[in-house]
Amino acid sequence: KPELVIIDSIQTMYHPDYPSTPGSIVQVRECSLRMQQLAKKENISIILVGHITKDGTVAGPKTLEHLVDVVLYLEGEKYHNIRILRAVKNRFGDISESGLFEMQNNGFIEISNPSKIFLSEKIQAPGSVIAVTLEGRRPILVEVQALVKKTVFGYPQRTSSGFDLNRLQLLIAVLEKRAGVDLANADVFLNIVGGLKIKEPAVDLAIITAITSAKNNLIIPDDYVFWGEVGLVGEIRQTISEKLREDETVRLGYTRWPKTKTIRELLSNLKLIT
């Protein structure tokens, strides 16, 4: 008997006892149940590859996720070769870990130092800053880029790649109100370099700094890194795993990170605003 079975994909499987098409809710549920019973009876491991929806969740009935022991997501941008493996369910271990891989000619290769890859082509320029984010429990340094220009439309554009657009608009509002940075007639473009998609609010501070740097055409010192959540009154809040971020920052040779309480104080110290 095999030690490992891989089904690619569960949406293509068909059970003749149920008069519905492959990929239907009934077929996915019943075929998954048969696979679970087979795995327990024969004591073998079975991997079910599944489709995802536009929202990035597993397609099909929620029963599918309840039946299995582990749910893994392999994520990545279409035009980048970096892939992130995340666990959202694991009956046998921690789900706070994640793996980063690079697709090469001979398959996936583990990335042991992702920060080095994401910062390998960084240049000193206005609007470019380094953020410290977490993938699972792994701290990663990534480049955040912002571009600010005078709008030619009646309504300024706000464009974001790799970061939630609604969160970006919120940060722009805080920046205008609490730090006095005028962006009412400016288009703002934001990019997380490397194809990463960052959801944690710890990159708020890096984004605000990058936008202000781009707006005033000023360069951030190359030994500075940023992390911290920004509140609606302009305060800088602590994030989870501060010690992990600090240790990774020091290990990679960066010596300075913000210790101020408000964004106005930080931007003034960096001489980005007066």
Q: Which of 154, 153, 190, 150 is nearest to 171 (CA)?
A: 190
Q: Compute the Cα dihedral for 199, 203, 205, 208 and give only its sign.
A: negative
Q: Which amino acid is at 123?
A: I
Which pLDDT value is given to residue 60?
Answer: 79
Give pTM, 2 decimals: 0.82
pLDDT tens, the chain, 274 aa long: 899 999 998 999 999 999 899 989 999 999 999 999 999 999 999 999 998 887 778 887 888 889 999 999 988 877 788 888 988 899 988 887 788 899 888 999 998 888 988 898 999 999 999 999 998 888 999 999 999 999 998 899 999 999 999 999 999 999 999 999 999 999 999 999 988 889 999 999 999 999 999 999 999 998 999 999 999 999 999 999 999 999 999 999 999 999 999 999 999 999 998 7
Domain ranges for the chain: 4-110, 116-269
Burial class (CB in 10 A: 0-12, 13-18, 19+), 72: middle
Task: Print burial letters for 218-243: b (CB count within 10 Å at least 16), e (below 16).
Answer: eebeeebbbbbbbeeebbbeebebee
Q: How far apart are CA 220 and CA 122, in angstroms?
A: 12
CATH 3.30.365.10 applies to domain 116-269:
no
**Is there a contact between 263 and 208 (Cβ–Cβ < 8 Å)?**
yes
Distances 128 to 69, 93, 210, 211, 228 between C-alpha atoms, Å:
42, 38, 6, 9, 17
Which pLDDT value is given to residue 235?
Answer: 97
Give the chain's radius of gyration (CA, Å).
Answer: 23
Those residues whose C-beta lies under 8 Å from the C-beta of residue 143, and which sit 6 or more positions away, are 118, 119, 122, 128, 129, 130, 131, 192, 193, 194
Burial class (CB in 10 A: 0-12, 13-18, 19+), 147: middle
Domain topology for 4-110: Rossmann fold (3.40.50)
